A = this chain, B = another copy of it.
Amino acid sequence: MNDLTIVLDAKSQIPLYEQIYYHIKKEITEGGLPFGRRLPSTRKLAKFLQVSRTTVDLAYGQLVSEGYVEARPCKGYYVCDLEGICSLSPESPRERKEPVKPDSGCLYDFSPRGVDLNSFPLGAWRKISKEILMEDNTRFFQLGEPAGEWELRCTIADYLHQARGVLTSPEQIIVGAGNDFLLMLLCVLLGNGRILAMESPTYRKAYELFDSLSCTVRIAGLDESGMRIDSLEETGADLAYVMPSHQYPLGIVMPVKRRMQLLEWAAQKEGRYIIEDDYDSEFRYRGKPIPALAGYDRRGKVIYIGTFSKSIAPAIRVSYMVLPESLMGIYDRRGRRISSTISRVDQLLIARFLNEGYYERHLNKMRAVYKSRHDALLEAMKPFRKILTVSGENAGVHLLLNFQNGMTEQEAVSRAEAESVKVYGLSRYYIGGVSQERQTVILGYANVTEEAIKVAAGRLEKAWL
């Protein structure tokens, strides 16, 4: 038993049976105990090591369960052939450096995609996570429904009804890991060769996904109400992608009349659909509440997309899509084979976060935070009114400054940067290749405190006035 002279440490945090298990496993993988060698009986080894027989039983049991040793009835324990056994030794840590992300280096960053996380309800999140994990339920680890957990889909249906005026059944709701994934799924459903109309400027990522996957993208013109119907007609498109709650990046809130015209356009021909990205609908500061476009849809023409990434936290990769009844057949044929992209634990977490009232409270808290910042930024922009106009300020968490004094976007951005304030040019959101110097910059305020807004505005005065 020379190979099994195991120096046991009774004071170690590692239980005795694990110490024996690790020792024998090491001897086997390093060849000290070759294939076919018989191990001492549990009785003998227990006596030799001065431990209880149960301890050795546990160690042998572990070795058997992992395939290092086999128990031959009435004969004893034998070392197995290791072929196929996975052995992962901790590698000597390599010199690996995480690529450094370019940083603007500015003290004040008005990123339009920011989210304030200081108000994130970590306590509630932890509490629900723990509750779910403690439920002894291996169902959470089996593959779930491709469209998402029933519980979550019912919760979302209720939420959409109450908060967005959208009446839908949970069957028509598909949850997925982020809007990008849902748009990709939509490309699978709609199939090749579709013509899709988008505004310009728009949400570039959506444009690039459609363009590189299955659609031909054409640009429909827009006015102060959003996508123009006459221009949409001219594109020959049978799909239109719009963000009626708060067009990104222009911040236009589409009035009810235009929404109705859009629905009318879709109704005129079979196979026409409107993709409604209900971007930033959670945060609205002025004007009457407008239901989502899907809320007015009586003919099954709107594909609705919403997300919790912005309203809870960006790393919460949970978005949802509502398919009209007429697309459910295609979903069954083409979409249902694609496995869900969200773990079941996360889906239940979100469902309970909503059902237990945390989401409502969190939303209102964030709305209050963002409203204060919105008001502070509007106030701070007053001295600039002689050189620019402000737009997009009725909703969302960013606004636009349109220079009227001839200052170009590039000039405005670099002058601000020289004062360590990062603002963003509008040009990057234009699609279709016509690049033209513009006079508009975007300021996102979700992640800038009121104090910082005041200081940054002072710096912008130096830069621009």
Chain A residues engaging chain B, CB cutoff 8 angstroms: 64-68, 83-91, 96, 98-99, 115, 117-118, 120, 122, 125-126, 129-130, 133-134, 136, 138, 140-144, 150, 154, 158-159, 161-163, 169-171, 177-178, 180-181, 184-185, 187-188, 191-192, 204-205, 208-209, 212-214, 282-285, 288-289, 309, 313-317, 334, 337-346, 354-355, 357, 359-361, 363-365, 367-368, 371
Tell whether A120 pairs with B91 under 8 Å between CB atoms, given A338-B209, A368-B66. no
Tell whether A161 pairs with B314 under 8 Å between CB atoms, given A117-B138, A130-B133, A212-B191. no
A-B pairs, 10 with minimum CB distance: A67-B368, A177-B341, A143-B314, A141-B313, A66-B364, A98-B150, A88-B360, A117-B138, A184-B184, A180-B338
Decide if A205 touches B91 in the complex (CB within 8 Å). no
Decide if A187 touches B209 in the complex (CB within 8 Å). no
Chain B residues with CB below 8 A from A162, complex form = 87-89, 91
Chain B residues with CB below 8 A from A140, complex form = 315
Interface core residue of A90, A125, A317 (most chain B CB under 10 Å): A317
Residue from B83, B117, B187, B317 in contact with A341 in the complex, judged by beta carbons closer than 8 Å: B317
Decide if A83 touches B315 in the complex (CB within 8 Å). no
Q: Which partner residue on chain B sits nearest A138 by CB separation?
A: B117
Decide if B142 touches A314 in the complex (CB within 8 Å). yes
**Copies of this protein chain in the complex:** 2
CA distance in complex: A314, B138 (Å): 11
Chain B residues with CB below 8 A from A338, complex form = 180, 205, 209
Q: Which partner residue on chain B sits nearest A282 by CB separation?
A: B86
CA distance in complex: A101, B22 (Å): 45
CA distance in complex: A204, B142 (Å): 21
Residue from B125, B138, B282 in contact with A118 in the complex, judged by beta carbons closer than 8 Å: B138
Tell whether A212 pairs with B192 under 8 Å between CB atoms, given A338-B205, A360-B87. yes
Decide if A212 touches B184 in the complex (CB within 8 Å). no
CA distance in complex: A130, B306 (Å): 29
Tell whether A365 pairs with B122 under 8 Å between CB atoms, given A89-B162, A317-B340, A359-B88. no
Tell whether A360 pairs with B316 under 8 Å between CB atoms, given A130-B130, A142-B117, A213-B213. no
Closest CB of chain B to A64's CB: distance in Å? 8
Residue from B66, B133, B315 in contact with A344 in the complex, judged by beta carbons closer than 8 Å: B315
Decide if A367 touches B67 in the complex (CB within 8 Å). yes
Chain B residues with CB below 8 A from A154, complex form = 96
CA distance in complex: A82, B359 (Å): 17
Decide if B120 touches A368 in the complex (CB within 8 Å). no
- Told that A84-B284, A184-B188 touch, could you supply 18 new A-B pairs with CB distance under 8 A? A64-B368, A67-B365, A85-B367, A86-B163, A86-B282, A87-B162, A91-B158, A91-B162, A99-B171, A144-B315, A177-B181, A187-B213, A188-B208, A205-B337, A209-B338, A317-B339, A317-B341, A317-B342
Residue from B129, B334, B371 in contact with A212 in the complex, judged by beta carbons closer than 8 Å: B334
Closest CB of chain B to A113's CB: distance in Å? 8
Residue from B98, B129, B289 in contact with A83 in the complex, judged by beta carbons closer than 8 Å: B289
Chain B residues with CB below 8 A from A122, complex form = 136, 138
Decide if B341 touches A343 in the complex (CB within 8 Å). no
Q: Which partner residue on chain B sits nearest A337 by CB separation?
A: B205
Decide if A371 touches B315 in the complex (CB within 8 Å). no
Closest CB of chain B to A150's CB: distance in Å? 4
Decide if B315 touches A143 in the complex (CB within 8 Å). yes
Chain B residues with CB below 8 A from A68, complex form = 364
Decide if B117 touches A178 in the complex (CB within 8 Å). no
Tell whether A129 pairs with B138 under 8 Å between CB atoms, given A66-B361, A86-B163, A337-B205. no
Chosen A-B contacts, 20 in total, with CB atoms closer than 8 Å, are A67-B364, A85-B364, A85-B367, A86-B360, A86-B363, A87-B162, A88-B158, A89-B162, A126-B133, A141-B313, A141-B314, A142-B314, A143-B314, A143-B315, A177-B177, A181-B181, A184-B213, A188-B212, A188-B213, A213-B213
Decide if B142 touches A133 in the complex (CB within 8 Å). no
Q: Which partner residue on chain B sits nearest A347 by CB separation?
A: B315
Chain B residues with CB below 8 A from A117, complex form = 138, 141-142
Chain B residues with CB below 8 A from A96, complex form = 154, 169-170
